[in-house]
């Protein structure tokens, strides 16, 4: 069986792009106070080996190609989104890419918190040792992936085909000046949390297991070129750090395109998270995601939107929570009018009686509010 083609066009993050101020994520600035026992190097090695299994099409199958993109100093962008970044990989619309992403912390801080040196991913050490162009944010993003044919005004359809754990641990942390209650917690704390991939739970503490629902906190494309380099911390019209826990395997994310090729990044892996991410971190970990990227010439959006197997989802993104909520509600009304052919009045009423609002993220500058409408309220249409 012929292995899937690997990324061959890789480039270091862009130099000299315009920098704008943004809140630096706490992830890379925490002092560790809690130490736990080391994790098994064997378990880590097994998870790493599994994550790097080649993605191959079925034997003899025709169809779109599948590519692999691992994080290296020349295939990541550290702390920002920008339209001027040269691609790490070029693909055609409809093709699939398996992207490995890295935990948003440093080898030093992970070891101080109790992770055995052998359990720290070599790729993370390599990037910390060799990447110097970084910030103003702190997320290590794999990419960008250039999708041929994507132009400003299009929509990038991101089909999240698979998400799996890459390492057997996560961390959660908070610190002064960060999170939703910074005055209540004016000190640093970091906890290493073992992950059980077989049972799909996180062992938070004795007697406390958290079900795992892995997803990428940050999925985005390039912002408008006029924006220059923007921090990876606040989400915006390019999606980015949405921290939306419903963007799991099987979900489709729709992102407005603002630059040729769209330029798609993935990062900030979460093994799970509560709505709001109130202390500023989730179950932070490394993940492997498989994405099918499709250019949609027939769609035109101002803000990211999503669809799960069971729900339609609109998202409002704004520094003000009320304004973010208004954007989410208006987005749902617009969707119901354009896609389900309801009147504006009926759309507003249906949103009120059947849709739910979730505070997806509270702590990254811009807030994210999601409105979710169950597909089950609609009777099947011809062709559905």
Its pTM stands at 0.84
Determine the Cα–Cα distance for residues 145 and 137; give it in Å rounded to an integer. Answer: 20
pLDDT of residue 279: 98
pLDDT of residue 383: 66
pLDDT of residue 291: 98
pLDDT of residue 283: 98
Q: How many CA atoms does the CB half-sphere of 109 hold within 13 Å?
A: 23
Superfamily of domain 310-377: Acetamidase/Formamidase-like domains (3.10.28.20)
State the Cα angle at 359 between 354 and 362, rounded to 5°.
Answer: 170
pLDDT of residue 358: 98
Q: How many CA atoms does the CB half-sphere of 169 hold within 13 Å?
A: 29
Determine the Cα–Cα distance for residues 189 and 32; give it in Å rounded to an integer. Answer: 6
Determine the Cα–Cα distance for residues 259 and 26; give it in Å rounded to an integer. Answer: 29
- Residue 325 has phi, psi (to 5 degrees) of -65, -40
- Hey, is 375 helix, strand or coil? helix
Q: In the chain, what are the domain boundaries?
A: 26-151+162-293, 310-377
Which CATH architecture is the domain 26-151+162-293 placed in? Sandwich (2.60)
Query: 10-residue block means of pLDDT along the chain (384 residues)?
Result: 38 31 37 34 38 38 82 98 97 98 97 98 98 95 98 98 98 96 96 98 98 98 97 98 98 98 98 98 98 97 98 98 98 98 98 98 97 96 68
Buried b (16+ CB within 10 A) or exposed e, 339-351: eeebeeeebbebb
pLDDT of residue 292: 98
pLDDT of residue 380: 84
Buried b (16+ CB within 10 A) or exposed e, 122-135: ebbeebbeebeebe
pLDDT of residue 48: 39
pLDDT of residue 49: 37
């Amino acid at each position: 069986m012929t292995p899937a083609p690997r990324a061959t066009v890789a480039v270091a993050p862009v130099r000299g792009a315009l920098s704008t101020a943004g809140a630096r994520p706490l992830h890379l600035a925490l002092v560790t106070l809690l130490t736990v026992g080391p994790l098994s190097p064997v378990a880590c090695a097994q998870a790493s080996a599994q994550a790097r299994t080649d993605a191959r099409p079925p034997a003899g199958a025709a169809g779109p190609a599948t590519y692999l993109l691992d994080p290296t100093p020349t295939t990541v962008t550290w702390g920002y989104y920008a339209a001027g970044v040269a691609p790490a990989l070029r693909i055609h619309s409809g093709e699939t890419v398996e992207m490995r992403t890295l935990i948003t912390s440093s080898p030093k801080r992970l070891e101080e918190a109790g992770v055995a040196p052998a359990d720290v991913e070599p790729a993370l050490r390599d990037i910390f040792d060799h990447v110097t162009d970084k910030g103003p944010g702190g997320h290590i993003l794999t990419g960008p992936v250039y999708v041929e044919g994507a132009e400003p005004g299009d929509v990038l359809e991101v089909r999240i085909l698979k998400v799996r754990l890459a390492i057997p641990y996560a961390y959660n942390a908070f610190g002064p000046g960060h999170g939703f209650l910074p005055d209540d917690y004016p000190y640093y704390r970091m906890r290493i949390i073992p992950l059980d991939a077989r049972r799909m739970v996180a062992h938070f503490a004795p007697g406390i297991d958290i079900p795992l629902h892995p997803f990428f906190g940050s999925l985005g494309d390039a912002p408008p070129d006029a924006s220059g380099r923007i921090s990876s911390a606040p989400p915006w019209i390019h999606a980015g750090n949405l921290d939306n826990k419903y963007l799991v395997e099987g979900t489709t994310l729709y992102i407005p395109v603002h630059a040729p090729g769209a330029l798609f990044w993935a990062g900030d892996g979460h093994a799970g998270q509560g709505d709001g991410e109130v202390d500023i971190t989730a179950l932070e970990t490394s993940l492997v995601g498989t994405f099918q990227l499709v250019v949609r010439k027939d769609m035109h959006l101002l803000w990211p939107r999503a669809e799960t197997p069971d729900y339609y989802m609109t998202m409002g993104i704004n520094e003000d929570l009320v304004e973010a909520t208004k954007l989410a509600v208006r987005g749902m009304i617009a969707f119901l009018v354009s896609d389900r052919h309801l009147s504006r009045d009926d759309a507003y009423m249906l949103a009120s009686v059947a849709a739910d609002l979730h505070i997806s993220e509270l702590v990254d500058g811009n807030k994210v509010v999601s409105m979710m409408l169950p597909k089950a309220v609609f009777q099947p249409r011809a062709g559905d």
